[in-house]
Structure 1
């Protein structure tokens, strides 16, 4: 470097320097095609398989329902605490539930237990009871709200109506079939517990339209509606169990009569506490 200018060293070998790389012109670097501009990538490797499917464990141990190991499965009473034990009772579709609801509205057929013997479900009874609780609470709340507004009075929601309805419907569907199951087993005419739950659950469906009709402000009309609903529900349960209880011997008539009267008593309780709404 002289006079403020840089000197140009071409092909000079300087001690301690690195040889210059010859100029080969412009080099085009090609990158492999990538599919990162699409989401999800169409071709991927590893735990995420191709397409838009979610990640999956390579060994599938997370998705398997095992108990300790792949071959070990709970047995006996331990199986009652696993979801697999209750899957068969929810293996129904909409057409099955609607068909069984329709069957409960024609109580004199007495063929419900035969049609559901191979596949009794708990899905329908659960939602029927839940719907009854909602309908009973909402209708009574709506009617009392209108009554207070017409009289220009303050209105307060009564949460006890929901808890009372839940206790009545859920308790009835659970306790009565359990008691009947023990009684039938004692008289050597055992019946499936799941089938009893299914029968009593669908027997309550008739009270849903009956509750909806209870908004009519006529007391005699409400008694008629409650009586018809109770008679239909009691007949549905009694006739479907009669053929099975006949094998219990001479006392079969008393058992059937008790089942019928207990269902009628339920309709009276519902009339006194749920069907009694005034405007």
Structure 2
């Protein structure tokens, strides 16, 4: 370059430099076809892709269809009654099932409870209904006595007998009465399933939960009315659901149904007499 201190290098080969690489032009690159696997596989199996429905509850421990190898399987013979897996099918219900059966118990005159629960009688609902009744009865009885003593300016001490008496009454009733009825029906050649009877009697007690809550009203006549209505509904629920089955027991069917009805009424009278005897 004239007039400057720079030297023009135009295609010169300078010692120590890298020779220029000629441009080869456009090079076409061809990729071979690849047989890629589809993901997820079309035949994959499992809870999501295999078409399996989700469990009815978050915990499906009691699901009948479970095939897990770590779940104990029921054994045969008399030892089965000591195995937890034996009772697992009787707790295979979800919230929808329990609420539907409770609703049926509050409408006793339909008389189709046994038909709806014949394929899947449960003990989950009866257990929690009895447990709820125990604490409700004990709480209301304790509250009534507490208010009574406070209004009279008297010292008050908690009576644990409310809990023990309520537990003995409800757990004993829902166990002994169905068991006795099971033996009676078997004697008259009209046998019924023991679990089915336990389920029926357990749900028949739910009507006493709102009855006990209403009985906190300090009016004696009102309490008797509430106890009478609850007892009549519970007795009708049991008697009407067993009437069609007991008809096969011959001429004695009427006496059996009458005894069932009167026992339920006696339970209502016992609740009114023991739990709600104190007036404010």
Shorter chain as denominator, the TM-score bin is 0.7 to 0.9
Q: Which residue of 2 aligns with 1:70?
A: none
Aligned pair count? 213
SS in 1 for 2:251: coil
- Please report how far the alpha carbon of residue 74 of structure 1 lies from its aligned counterpart in structure 2 after TM superposition: 2.1
Give per-residue Cα distances to partners, 1:204-254, cap 9 Å, x unaligned: 000011101111111111110000000000000000000000011111111
Distance in 2 between the 1:64 and 1:263 partners? Answer: 39
Deviation digits for residues 161-212 of structure 1 (CA, Å, limit 9, x no counterpart): 1000000000000000000000000000000000000000000000011101
Equivalent position of 1:187 in the other structure? 188
- Following superposition, the deviation at residue 62 of structure 1 comes to 9.3
Aligned equivalent of 2:70 = 63
Matched with 2:212 is 211
Structure 2: segments with no counterpart, 5+ residues: 1-67
* Cα drift, residue 269 of structure 1: 1.0
1: distance between equivalents of 2:246 and 2:71?
A: 42
The separation in 2 between residues aligned to 1:215 and 1:209, in whole angstroms, is 10
CA contact (8 A) 1:89 1:120 kept: yes
Provide the residue aligned with 2:36 in structure 1: none
Runs of 4+ in 1 over 4 A off after TM superposition: none
Higher mean displacement: 141-150 or 161-170: 141-150
1:248 aligns with 2:249: yes
Secondary structure of the residue aligned to 1:156 is coil
TM-score (norm 1): 0.74
- Taking only aligned residues, the RMSD between alpha carbons, in angstroms, comes to 1.4
SS in 1 for 2:235: helix
Of 171-180 and 257-266, deviating more is 257-266
1:77-96 → structure 2 map (5 Å cutoff):
77-96=78-97
Cα distance in 2 for residues equivalent to 1:242 and 1:134: 32
Between 1:141-150 and 1:129-138, the stretch displaced more is 141-150
1:64: Cα distance to partner?
4.7
Name the counterpart of 1:169. Answer: 170
Is 1:214–1:275's contact at 8 Å kept on the other side of the alignment?
Answer: yes
Post-superposition CA distance 1:54-111 (Å, at most 9, x none): xxxxxxx993526xxxxxx621111111011000000000010000000000000001
